[in-house]
Amino acid sequence: MSHVFPRQINAPPIKAVASEGCYIIGEDGKHYLDGSGGAAVSCLGHGDVQIIEAIKQQTEALAFAHTGFFTSAPAEELADLLIKHAPAGLDRVYFVSGGSEAVEAAIKLARQFHVENGEPQRRHIIARRQSYHGNTLGALAVGGNQWRRAQFEPILIDVTHISPCYEYVDRKADETAVDYGQRAAQELEDEILRLGPDKVMAFVAEPVVGATMGAVPAVEGYFKRIRNICDTYGVLLILDEVMCGMGRTGHLFACDAEGISPDILCIAKGLGAGYQPIGAMLCSKTIYDTIGSGTGFFQHGHTYLAHPVACAAGLAVVNAILDRKLLKAANTRSAQLFAALNGAFGQNPYIGDIRGRGMFIGLEIVKDRETKTPFEPGLGIAAKVKKAAFEAGLICYPMSGTRDGKTGDHVLLAPAFTFSEQHSSELVEKLEATFFSVLSGTGRSY
Ligand code: PLP
């Protein structure tokens, strides 16, 4: 009898006992191909000796020193390295233990900035529907995914949500991608004006939407317009790269592809690559200096801020991504994987869209490819895909509610940047078997 509180009380997970490269091994000896890095975490694969060695050395040298008293060499070095490669204007790094903590810190920093900048009336946050920003109460309130929010709604802070940039479904037939992006971005300006242009503190978005939509990048020009609107109204732009950052899209920072810089940026997952729990919030010099010349104190903090061992792991991971040229590798492997997926599912009647960027790929499952009609939510397609894939020895990340938080299904893939062509073939084969077993009984000829 286990005393661990699992995610699914009625379906406790099997025990993992080891991991090796792109596989996790169960206690029955079965090898599971890690096609999603868990949830876009394990970007280097498993058992990387360099990262393990960095953790060992740091644990021996200094396992913990509270940030109320000390900084540490790995925290300093990792901050320098991140800022060296970060989008222009970002200057300081606040290390936390995961994605939700990074988003919480970002929300509070945005609010404190406006208070210390003489605009305490700025209190509204705008985010996007179908986004996920974490499960702590502040981050959950910012997220726009209906089923995750539903039962907690009465205790969430008030955040308003505009449409995501979702070309596959929302672009009109007679509209160019760029025109569609401008129309979608215009919703931000309309919402700022509705709430009061001097009352909005921040806009929060994922550059490539991950868990809730399945690797959906924005169309060209969308984020440039968003940046422009934020600048016009003094609204801080918070980009959540917890899932899509740290090389996942083939860029170290996902917003590099958009040619913009946020005021605050959140990273996690790939930063520790699963070797240590670590996240970070990066902020601009302007924000930092405003608080520095004001109270001089960010009213926030956790016990494990900038944990030395977590920072040592993060430092080793980012160095590995850069030194091993894994951004280039991720782009090459991405092209191979996209080709394999398009070859296998490009004409599949149930796969409406294969999208993404770098090693961050989504497949949207539909009932009817021509009309893009999703399956009825009651069929639980994503849950069935997850179960069947796992039985076939594949870890992938399917999710329902792609369209509006209730309907729609997708599968998210986020393999290690070290995924080989054989791994891609194995993934596609297992996914083919999975889709066949789940979808061939749903009515249309397969
Ligand atoms: N933000 C995004 C975009 C995420 O995808 C996630 C997790 O999936 C989070 C925040 C929350 O991160 P964590 O689960 O580490 O708290």
Q: pLDDT category, 445, cuts 50, 70, 90?
A: low
Which residue, 290, 323, 356, sits at the end of a domain? 323
**Whether residue 79 sits in one domain with residue 177:** yes
State the pLDDT at residue 40: 98
Quick check: is 444 in a domain? Answer: no
**Whether residue 269 sits in one domain with residue 334:** no
**Whether residue 22 sits in one domain with residue 55:** no
| 414 within 8 A of 248, measured Cβ to Cβ | yes
Q: Distance from the CA of 205 to the center of ligand 1, in angstroms?
A: 12
Residues composing the chain:
446
Output the six-digit token pair for 442: 């749903």
Quick check: is 6 in a domain? Answer: no
**Whether residue 133 sits in one domain with residue 41:** no
Quick check: is 355 in a domain? Answer: yes
Give the three-state DSSP class for 84: helix
Please name the residue whose Cα sits nearest to atom 1 of ligand 1.
133
400 ligand 1 Cβ < 6 A: no
Output the six-digit token pair for 175: 């509209």
**Whether residue 184 sits in one domain with residue 275:** yes
State the pLDDT at residue 21: 97
Count of domains forming the chain:
2
HSE-up of residue 159 (Cα within 13 Å, Cβ side): 30
210 ligand 1 Cβ < 6 A: yes
pLDDT in tens, 357-374: 999 999 999 999 999 999
State which ligand 1 atom lies nearest to the alpha carbon of 241: 3
To test the pocket of ligand 1, the residue of 241, 243, 253, 276 to mutate (highest count of ligand atoms within 8 Å of its CB) is: 243
The closest of 234, 238, 233 to 128, measured between CA atoms, is: 238
206 ligand 1 Cβ < 6 A: yes
**Whether residue 283 sits in one domain with residue 157:** yes
Lowest-pLDDT choice from 37-46, 144-153, 314-323, 374-383: 144-153
Q: Distance from the CA of 110 to the center of ligand 1, in angstroms?
A: 19
To test the pocket of ligand 1, the residue of 269, 278, 412 to mutate (highest count of ligand atoms within 8 Å of its CB) is: 269
Quick check: is 198 in a domain? Answer: yes
Quick check: is 4 in a domain? Answer: no
Q: Distance from the CA of 104 to the center of ligand 1, in angstroms?
A: 11
**Whether residue 174 sits in one domain with residue 81:** yes
- Name 162's bridge partners: 128
Q: Is the pLDDT of residue 146 over 90?
A: no
Average pLDDT rounded to a whole number, residues 161-176: 98
State the pLDDT at residue 354: 98
**How far from chain centre, in Å, is Cα 180?**
24
- Name 239's bridge partners: 205, 265
**Whether residue 385 sits in one domain with residue 286:** no
Q: Is the pLDDT of residue 444 over 90?
A: no
268 ligand 1 Cβ < 6 A: yes
**Whether residue 264 sits in one domain with residue 398:** no
To test the pocket of ligand 1, the residue of 42, 130, 133, 206 to mutate (highest count of ligand atoms within 8 Å of its CB) is: 133
pLDDT in tens, 180-239: 999 999 999 999 999 999 999 999 999 999 999 999 999 999 999 999 999 999 999 999
Q: Distance from the CA of 159 to the center of ligand 1, in angstroms?
A: 18
267 ligand 1 Cβ < 6 A: no
Q: Distance from the CA of 375 to the center of ligand 1, in angstroms?
A: 26
352 ligand 1 Cβ < 6 A: no
Quick check: is 270 in a domain? Answer: yes
pLDDT in tens, 304-340: 999 999 999 999 999 999 999 999 999 999 999 999 9
Which residue, 293, 323, 353, sits at the end of a domain? 323
Q: Domain span at residue 357?
A: 16-48+325-439
State the pLDDT at residue 440: 85
Which residue, 305, 323, 341, sits at the end of a domain? 323
CATH number at residue 396: 3.90.1150.10
**Whether residue 330 sits in one domain with residue 304:** no
Give the three-state DSSP class for 399: strand
State which ligand 1 atom lies nearest to the alpha carbon of 269: 15
Q: Is the pLDDT of residue 441 over 80?
A: no
Q: Distance from the CA of 100 to the center of ligand 1, in angstroms?
A: 6
State the pLDDT at residue 446: 61
Strand ranges across the sheet with 397-400: 351-357, 360-365, 409-413, 397-400
d(CA 137, CA 160): 15
Category of 29 on φ-ψ map: left (φ > 0), alpha (ψ -120 to 50) or beta: left
Q: Distance from the CA of 61 to the center of ligand 1, in angstroms?
A: 30
State which ligand 1 atom lies nearest to the alpha carbon of 139: 10
- Give the chain's mean pLDDT: 97
242 ligand 1 Cβ < 6 A: yes
Its pTM stands at 0.98
Average pLDDT rounded to a whole number, residues 80-95: 98
- Name 351's bridge partners: 365
d(CA 369, CA 351): 7
Q: pLDDT category, 249, cuts 50, 70, 90?
A: very high
Category of 276 on φ-ψ map: left (φ > 0), alpha (ψ -120 to 50) or beta: beta
243 ligand 1 Cβ < 6 A: yes
**Whether residue 294 sits in one domain with residue 159:** yes
pLDDT in tens, 260-280: 999 999 999 999 999 999 999
136 ligand 1 Cβ < 6 A: no
305 ligand 1 Cβ < 6 A: no
State the pLDDT at residue 443: 61
pLDDT in tens, 97-108: 999 999 999 999
State the pLDDT at residue 147: 86
Quick check: is 446 in a domain? Answer: no
Quick check: is 1 in a domain? Answer: no
**Whether residue 33 sits in one domain with residue 97:** no
